[in-house]
Amino acid sequence: MTPWNLLALTPLPPEALRGLLAPLGDRVTLSFARDRAAMEAALPQAEIVLGDWSAGLAMDAAAVAAAPRLAFVQQPSVGVDGHDLAALSAAGVPLANTAGVSAVAVAEWCLGAALTLSRRLVAADAAVRAGGWPQLDLGPRELSGSHVGVVGYGPIGQECARLFGALGCRVSHWTRTPRGEGYAPLEEVVATADVLVVVIALSDETRGLVDPARMKKGALLVNAARGGVVDQRALAAALREGHLGGAALDVFDTEPLPPDDPLRDLTSVLLSPHVAGVTPQSTGRLVASVVGNLTAAVEEKKIENVVNDAPARIRRRDGSGK
Ligand SMILES: NC(=O)c1ccc[n+]([C@@H]2O[C@H](COP(=O)([O-])OP(=O)(O)OC[C@H]3O[C@@H](n4cnc5c(N)ncnc54)[C@H](O)[C@@H]3O)[C@@H](O)[C@H]2O)c1
Ligand SMILES: O=C(O)[C@H](O)COP(=O)(O)O
C-alpha cells in the first residue's frame, strides 16, 4: 500500500520522533517542518499532520486550504486552540487530541498552586532567605472549608473537583452543558468563589470569559487552561489594586511571557512556564495516545478523541481538495 505522507510540526528532534513512530513502520513517509515557511512548503503533499505544541504552528484556515491531500490532524495535546476546527470539518478532515492524558497532572498542579497561594509559601520562603522570620504577618489561610469554583468540567475540572473536595472544600463548577453535582451559573461561581480554578478550553466563545474584576474581594485565581480565557490586563489591574489576593498562572496570552509583562512585577502572582500537565506519567500516556491513534489511522481503523465535526476514519483525498 502507498505510504501516507506524515508531516510532523512538533519540536521533537527528528530521530526521537522516528523512534516513537517506529510502530507505524513503512506505512508512513515522514517529513518535518519547524517554521511557517517550511510548513507551507510541505503542506501540498501532507496527508497526515502531527501538530506542534500550543501557540506554535497550527492548521488555521490558510494552512487547511494549502493542504488539498490532508486526511487527518493529530494534536499532541489536549488544547486544540489555534487550529481552525470549522475549516477542517468543512474539508472532512478529523482533528484528534490527547483527551484526558494530563488530567491528574494538571489538577495536582492546581491544588498545589492554590495551597501555595493560600499558605503564602513563596513569600515565606523569600522572607526567610532574606534573613527574616515573619511568623505573624504572612496572612495564611486554610483551603479546607473554603469555596472553590471550577470553570470547565472536562477531565481536568472533574479531577480538580475530586481533589479539592477531598481536602474539605465546598466545590461548585460551571461548564457549557450543565452536568455533575455542584453545577452553578458562571456569574455565581465567579462572584462567590474564594479560589477560582480555570480549566476550560479556549475557543471564540470562551475568550475573555473570566473577568477578574467580577471575582470576590481577596479571592485567589488559578489558571491552567489558556491565557486567553482570563482577561490578562484586567487580572494585572485587579492584583495591583489589591482586589484579588493572588493568582497562580501556568498559561499566558503570549508565551513565553514577555520580559516587560507587568505580571512579572507583582509579588502576589505565582508564575509557571506552561508545565502543569507535564510529568513523566502524563508524557507516557500522551505518547501512547498519539502513536495509538496514528497507527489506527493508517490502518484505517476508528480514530479516537476526534474533536471536530468530521468522520473518525481517514480517507485518501485526490489532491484537488476533495
Ligand atoms: N496547562 C497545561 O499544561 C494544560 C494541560 C492540559 C490541558 N490544558 C488546558 O485545559 C483545558 C481543559 O482540558 P480538559 O482535559 O479538562 O477538557 P476539554 O478541553 O475537553 O474541555 C474542558 C471543558 O470545557 C468545556 N467547553 C469547551 N468549549 C466550551 C465553550 N465554548 N463554552 C463552555 N464550555 C466549553 C467542555 O465542555 C469541558 O467541560 C484544555 O482545553 C487545555 O487548554 C492545559
Ligand atoms: O493542552 C495541553 O495538553 C497542554 O496545555 C499542553 O499543550 P501544549 O503541548 O500544546 O503546550
* In a shared domain, residues 203 and 264: yes
Helix, strand, coil percent content, the chain, rounded in steps of 5: 35, 15, 50
Residues 138 and 229 placed together within one structural domain of the fold: yes
Per the residue annotation, which of 255, 285, 304, 313 is the catalytic one?
255
> Which pLDDT belongs to residue 321?
76
Residue 255: give the domain boundaries.
Answer: 103-271
Q: What is the pLDDT of residue 236?
A: 97
Q: What is the torsional sign of CA 306, 311, 317, 322?
A: negative
Pair 94, 107 in one domain: no
Does 274 qualify as catalytic in the annotation?
A: yes
CA distances to 83, 118, 136, 193 from 145, rounded to whole Å, are 40, 12, 22, 12
pLDDT for residue 55: 67
For the CA of 76, the nearest ligand: 2
Task: Give domain status of residue 119, yes or no.
Answer: yes
Domain membership flag for residue 58? yes
Q: Is the CB of 78 under 6 A from ligand 2?
A: yes
Q: Under 8 Å CB-to-CB from 12, ≥6 apart: which residues? A: 20
Look at ligand 1, atom 17, and give the residue with the nearest C-alpha: 154
Q: For the domain that residue 92 is a member of, what is the CATH number?
A: 3.40.50.720
Eight-class DSSP state of 164: H
Tell me the ipTM for this assembly: 0.94
**Residue 82 Cβ < 6 Å to ligand 2:** no
Q: Over its length of 322 residues, how does the chain's per-residue pLDDT go in tens digits?
A: 899 999 999 989 999 999 999 999 999 999 999 999 999 999 999 999 999 986 679 999 999 999 999 999 999 999 999 999 999 999 999 999 999 999 999 999 999 999 999 999 999 999 999 999 999 999 999 999 999 999 999 999 999 999 999 999 999 999 999 999 999 999 999 999 999 999 999 999 999 999 999 999 999 999 999 999 999 999 999 999 999 999 999 999 999 999 999 999 999 999 999 999 999 999 999 999 999 999 999 999 999 999 999 999 998 988 887 7
Query: Does residue 196 line the site of ligand 2, with CB under 6 A?
Result: no
Closest C-alpha among 225, 164, 174 to residue 195 = 164
Give residue 322's pLDDT. Answer: 77
pLDDT at 49: 98
Number of domains in the chain: 2
Which among 12, 50, 53, 57 is the best mutation to test ligand 2's pocket, defined by most ligand atoms within 8 Å of the CB?
53
Per the annotation, the verdict on 226 as an active-site residue is yes
Answer yes or no: do 156 and 284 share one domain.
Answer: no
Are 142 and 210 found together in one domain? Answer: yes
Q: Any idea which ligand is nearest the CA of 248?
A: 1
pLDDT of residue 319: 86
Asked, for residue 315, whether it belongs to a domain, the answer is no
123 and 255 assigned to the same domain:
yes
Give the ligand 2 atom nearest the CA of 102.
3
Has 315 been annotated as catalytic? no
- The whole-number pLDDT of residue 320 equals 82
